[in-house]
């Protein structure tokens, strides 16, 4: 979460003047639990998925606290991050309510094999965690940074691009499998005119493609053509935005990153909007958010590692590991590439794979410093941004 949110939440928490509420969100209904000053009962209300009803409920609880002789100076609402995103938190904050979004994996739960699970029990668990966090015991849970609508929207092109690339690969692999099933191995289905050449294809048996298979391939090629058009539209729109407003928002950071040899606009866009533009505290926080820190397994004299924690942003982790391999190709003279070659000289087995993750973490931190302070990674080559 962002540091300003943390400092604001821990200012003089007084349970006698603070109304605290947690919500279990679902598609059609919300279960709202409250801790109302001066009221002995712990109210629990199930209502429709309507923010106006929620606001009216909070005001009613505040009126009950005032009637009991307590002055409510602060209303805090928290809920777990999920499909609903952050719109409710922004909506509540615009109306003077402190709203926080809890990271779901940060809530400690019972390790019983068959623990009871219900929305009512979940609200109790959330309430205990939020109260501890408000008192300053930050390990009770972690809060997610709430982005603005513009920040959320800026991530959409890159995420849609990633989804379309996966869909393109899936279609191509399925078409290749269909061809191999018929014994055809030399036909390139990625050709622009592949659809025109399907009718003339012959199997090793000397017969044309079966009618149903031919229709299936044509439909797949039509989908592939549509995906290519959509990918091209996303890339053109992004370049147009960069050229039209190079100093707007995170564009300067993106243009800086695109100057580094081996980093394309697509990778730069992903890194900037997913991690580099976030208000992270230090180098260690950057590595943790990238999900490239270790998970120690220590107990008594036992010392070990479970591997990567994978607790951060999966997109950043995948992208940085791919970028680390490219870094070794395009930035051979950099200090990081030389460090990797020194550590893996003569190594066997999975050492190279383990060290590439370490290189990806170091590279992410180096790029974070570069876009923040202008400090170029040691030995890295830059190029004029061709945008």
Residue 361 CB burial class (10 angstroms; 0-12, 13-18, ≥19): buried
Cα 193 to Cα 216: distance, rounded to the nearest angstrom: 16
Give me the sheet containing 74-80, strands edge to edge.
44-48, 29-35, 18-25, 74-80, 98-102, 143-144
Question: What does the pLDDT look like over 57-110, one tens digit per residue?
Answer: 999 999 999 999 999 999 999 999 999 999 999 999 999 999 999 999 899 888
Per the CB < 8 A criterion, the answer to whether 260 and 369 are in contact is no
Helix (H, G, I), strand (E, B) or coil at 18: strand
Q: Is the pLDDT of residue 385 over 70?
A: no
Q: Of 135, 131, 146, which is closest to residue 33 (Cα–Cα)?
A: 131
**How far, in Å, are 2, 243, 344, 369 from residue 364 at the CA level?**
19, 26, 20, 9
Per the CB < 8 A criterion, the answer to whether 125 and 109 are in contact is yes
Q: Is the pLDDT of residue 8 over 60?
A: no
| Residue 4: per-residue pLDDT | 46
What confidence category does residue 386 fall into, taking pLDDT thresholds of 50, 70 and 90?
A: low
Question: What does the pLDDT look like over 188-214, one tens digit per residue?
Answer: 998 888 988 998 899 999 999 999 999
DSSP class per residue in 232-275 = HHHHHHHHHHHHH-TTSTTHHHHHHHHTBTT--HHHHHHHIIII
The whole-model pTM stands at 0.86
Cα 270 to Cα 84: distance, rounded to the nearest angstrom: 22
| Residue 12: per-residue pLDDT | 63
Cα 151 to Cα 139: distance, rounded to the nearest angstrom: 27
Q: Of 47, 42, 55, which is closest to residue 25 (Cα–Cα)?
A: 47
Q: Which of 126-135, 306-315, 316-325 has the lowest mean pLDDT?
A: 306-315
- Evaluated on CA atoms 25, 29, 31, 32, the torsion sign reads positive
Q: Is the pLDDT of residue 350 over 90?
A: no
110-112-117-120 Cα dihedral, nearest 10 degrees? -40
* Torsional class of 86: left (φ above 0), alpha (ψ -120 to 50), beta (otherwise): alpha
Q: Is the pLDDT of residue 11 over 70?
A: no
Q: What is the 3-state secondary structure (H, E, C) of 168-228?
A: HHHHHHHHHHHHHHCCCCCCCCCCCCHHHHCCCCECCCCCECCHHHHHHHHHHHHHHHHHH
Question: What does the pLDDT look like over 31-47, one tens digit per residue?
Answer: 999 999 999 888 999 99
What confidence category does residue 159 fall into, taking pLDDT thresholds of 50, 70 and 90?
A: very high
Q: What contacts 32, CB < 8 A, 6 or more positions away?
A: 21, 22, 23, 44, 45, 46, 47, 54, 57, 123
| Residue 111: per-residue pLDDT | 85
Q: Mean pLDDT throughout 302-329?
A: 89
């Amino acid at each position: 979460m962002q540091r300003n949110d943390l400092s604001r939440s821990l200012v003089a928490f007084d349970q006698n003047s603070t109304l605290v509420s947690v919500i279990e969100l679902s598609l059609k209904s919300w279960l709202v639990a409250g801790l109302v000053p001066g009221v002995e009962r712990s109210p629990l209300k199930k209502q429709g998925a309507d923010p106006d009803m929620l606001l009216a409920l909070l005001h009613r609880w505040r009126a009950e606290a005032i009637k009991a002789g307590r002055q409510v100076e602060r209303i805090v609402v928290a809920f777990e991050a999920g499909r609903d995103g952050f719109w409710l938190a922004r909506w509540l904050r615009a109306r003077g309510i402190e709203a926080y979004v809890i990271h779901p994996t940060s809530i400690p739960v019972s390790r019983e094999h068959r623990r009871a699970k219900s929305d009512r029990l979940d609200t109790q668990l959330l309430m205990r965690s939020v109260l501890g966090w408000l008192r300053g015991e930050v390990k009770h849970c972690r809060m997610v940074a709430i982005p603005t609508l513009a920040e959320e929207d800026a991530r959409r092109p890159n995420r849609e691009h990633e989804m379309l690339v996966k869909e393109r690969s899936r279609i191509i692999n399925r078409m290749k499998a269909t061809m191999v099933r018929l014994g055809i191995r030399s036909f390139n289905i990625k050709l622009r005119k592949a659809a025109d050449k399907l009718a003339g294809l012959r199997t090793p048996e000397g017969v044309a493609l079966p009618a149903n298979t031919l229709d299936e391939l044509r439909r797949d090629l039509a989908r592939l053509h549509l995906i290519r058009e959509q990918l091209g539209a996303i890339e053109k729109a992004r370049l147009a935005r960069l050229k039209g407003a190079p100093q707007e928002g995170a564009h300067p950071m993106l243009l800086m990153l695109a100057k580094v040899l081996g980093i394309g606009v697509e990778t730069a866009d992903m890194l900037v909007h997913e991690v580099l533009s976030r208000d992270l505290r230090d180098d260690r926080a950057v590595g943790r958010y990238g999900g490239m820190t270790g998970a120690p397994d220590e107990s008594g004299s036992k010392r070990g590692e479970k591997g990567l924690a994978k607790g951060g942003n999966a997109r950043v982790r995948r992208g940085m590991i791919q970028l680390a391999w490219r870094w070794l190709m395009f930035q051979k003279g950099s200090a990081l590439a030389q460090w990797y070659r020194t550590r893996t000289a003569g190594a066997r087995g999975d050492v190279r794979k383990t060290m590439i993750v370490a290189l990806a973490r170091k590279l992410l931190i180096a790029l974070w410093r570069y876009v923040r302070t202008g400090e170029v990674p040691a030995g890295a080559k830059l190029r004029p941004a061709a945008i």
